[in-house]
Amino acid sequence: MSNKNLNRFIFLLSIVGIGISSYLSFTYITHSPIACFDTGCEIVRKSRYAYPLGIPMPIIGFFGNLIIFLLSFFYTLENTPKKQVAKLLFFTSFIGFLVVVFLTAAEIFDIKAYCIWCLGSAFTMTLTFISSVYLYVKNRKS
């Protein structure tokens, strides 16, 4: 896959991540029900992991995905230092990946409930991280 297509994929994944986190942020802020297949989403929202430092976790996810979105956009610009932007994409997505691994483990081992939106977000961030690793490696070689 070319660097251009790989970056497009990361860009699209960030839009999906922004969509998921925007919806969940809205439900957290308004305390409205989360559209879910069962009660897992509500159980996860009521857990101690849902509001680190009093901030709704989806808002943190929104800003993480927004940073990836902006970096991916900057990567497309003509005079952008591609290696540095690819490196920033790698580190940002790595942090996001660590967060979703931790939160998914919390769902499995501590909360014992699953939120389909959270799992979708984790899947999206995992794909973003894998893609950013590939983009970073390809840019280091060029």
Does an H or E element contain 8, and which?
Answer: helix 3-30
User: Which one, of 29, 102, 14, 20, lies nearest residue 64 by Cα?
Assistant: 14
Query: So what's the pLDDT on residue 9?
Result: 98
Does an H or E element contain 137, and which?
Answer: helix 116-141
User: Which one, of 132, 31, 41, lies nearest residue 82 by Cα?
Assistant: 132
94/131 Cα distance (integer angstroms): 11
Range list of β-strands (E), the chain? none
Q: Cα torsion at 105, 106, 110, 114 (round to 10°)?
A: -90
Angle 51-57-59 from CA coordinates, rounded to 5°: 120
Query: So what's the pLDDT on residue 96?
Result: 98
79/116 Cα distance (integer angstroms): 40
Query: So what's the pLDDT on residue 37?
Result: 87
Q: Amino acid letter at 24?
A: L
Query: So what's the pLDDT on residue 1?
Result: 83
Tens of pLDDT along the chain (142 residues) come to 899 999 999 999 999 999 999 999 999 999 999 999 888 999 999 999 999 999 999 999 999 999 999 999 999 999 999 999 999 999 999 999 999 999 999 999 999 999 999 999 999 999 999 999 999 999 988 7
